[in-house]
Amino acid sequence: MWIPLSLLFVGCWTAGPRGMVTGQSYPKPSVSVSPEVVTLGGKVTVRCSTTMYPGAKFFLQRSDSYVMLTPNTTKKYEAEFIISNIQISDAGIYYCWYGFQDSSATWYSHASDAVHINVTDPGMPEPSIKVNPRGPYDVGSNITIVCEGQGTGLSFFLRKVDTREILQVEARPTAKAIFRFSLVKMKDVGRYICQYHHKSRPFVWSMQSDPMELVLKDNSMTTIIWASGAAGLLLALFLLMLVLLLCKKRKKRSTVNEGIQPMNRLLEQNAGTDHSDREDHDGVTYAVLSQHSVKIKKPPSQPTGPESCIYASVAK
């Protein structure tokens, strides 16, 4: 289905039984593109989605065209547009939106954020890439990557191989771009490529350069490994000391409790014991010791009489 874009906005400020209206209350959809850079003749997939209004119809359009594309597949809240056999003319900025009909009009949401479809042209020679100084490098080094193409008024980008993330973009009136890395880190290790485009065709890129590899010196790697190992060892020692300290405190608390418990039991027994005097068979009185006081009772003194002696005669 092909609908001129100009027709979509004719009814924006007019009222009518079958007018087309852009709704102020309908949020813009989300949009993504994969891949962002595709070789001539390749395929690109654009996905549009919304969290509201299931069953809405989605549309895709290039910013400099009045032609709207309909999706290849549609789900409840999402539509997928597939552009096959990509040509130079397909490169550019794209937007999508969704719409639906009610009894009086056809309503459309606001346009999504822009996505870019970049096409590589085999007719544009690949740039050269070099690094200064030459590696391998120590951790913390400062290096410069230089990309150079053919012609003037070029823009370059630099990215890691096997990633889609464009790390740096440099626009120069000359045919050369300089990308600087300050304080090289472990995460910077890898292979890099660069590409360029002419100012007049911002979405048509050259073929990518040969990859340039950024590597660290063996001693730098050894230093990193040793530093990581030392940090891990210190952490393990700290945890061990903490465990030993906790065990020591727990053992000391247990020892104190063991000494207190017998004393408490003795005091409890004494507290519940009758404090009356207890006498043994010899008439000796014992005192009972408690945690409050010590009471000792003595038996009353008995009058003593003179000792009697009996003498016997011993026969000789």
Name the residue ranges covered by the structural domains of the chain: 5-120, 128-216
5-120 and 128-216: same fold?
yes
Task: Tell me which of 2.60.40.10, 3.40.50.1010, 2.60.120.260, 2.120.10.80 is the CATH number of domain 5-120.
Answer: 2.60.40.10
Query: Does the structure show a pLDDT above 90 at 103?
Result: no
Instruction: Say yes or no to pLDDT of 298 above 80.
Output: no
**Average pLDDT score over residue span 1-5:** 36
What is the mean predicted confidence (pLDDT) over 200-228?
76
Per-residue pLDDT, 242: 86
pTM for the model stands at 0.56
Fold (CATH) for 128-216: Immunoglobulin-like (2.60.40)
Q: How high does pLDDT run on average in the chain?
A: 75
Q: What is the pLDDT of residue 316?
A: 46
User: DSSP characters for the chain?
Assistant: ----HHHHTTTTT---TT-EEE-TTSPPPEEEEE-SEEETT--EEEEEE-SSSTT-EEEEEETT-SPEEPPSEE-SSEEEEEE-S--GGG-EEEEEEEEEE-SS-EEE------EEEEEE-TTSPPPEEEEES-S-B-TT--EEEEEE-SSSSEEEEEEETT---EEEEEEESSSEEEEEE-S--GGG-EEEEEEEEETT-TTEEPPPPPPEEE-B-HHHHHHHHHHHHHHHHHHHHHHHHHHHHHHHHHHHHHHHHHHHHHHHHHHHHHHTS--S-EE-TT--EEPPB-SS-B---PPPP----PPP--------
- Name which of 92-96, 120-124, 257-261 the model is least confident about: 257-261
pLDDT digits (tens, 9 = 90+) for 135-170: 788 888 899 999 999 888 888 989 888 776 677 787
Whether residue 21 has pLDDT greater than 90: no
Over residues 183-212, the mean pLDDT reads 90
